[in-house]
Amino acid sequence: MNDLAARLRALPSFPEDMPGLAPDAVPEDPAELFLAWLEDAIAAGVRQPHAMTFQTLAEDGSPVGRTLILKDLDERGLHVSTHRTSRKGEQLAADPRAAMTFFWRESGRQVQVGGTVAALDEETSQADWSARPSYEGSPNPDWQVYALRPAWYEFTQSRLDRKHVRIGYRRGADGRWSHDRVTTPAG
Q: Give burial (CB, 10 Å; 0-12/13-18/19+) of 78.
A: buried
Dist CA 83 CA 119 (whole Å): 11
Dist CA 88 CA 54 (whole Å): 9
Tell whether 144 is in a known binding site: no
Tell whether 110 is in a known binding site: yes
Dist CA 21 CA 36 (whole Å): 12
Tell whether 163 is in a known binding site: no
> Could you give the residue ranges of the DSSP H alpha helices within 49-103?
87-94
Dist CA 166 CA 169 (whole Å): 10
Tell whether 8 is in a known binding site: no
- State the binding site for FMN: 66-71, 87-88, 110
Binding residues: 66-71, 87-88, 110
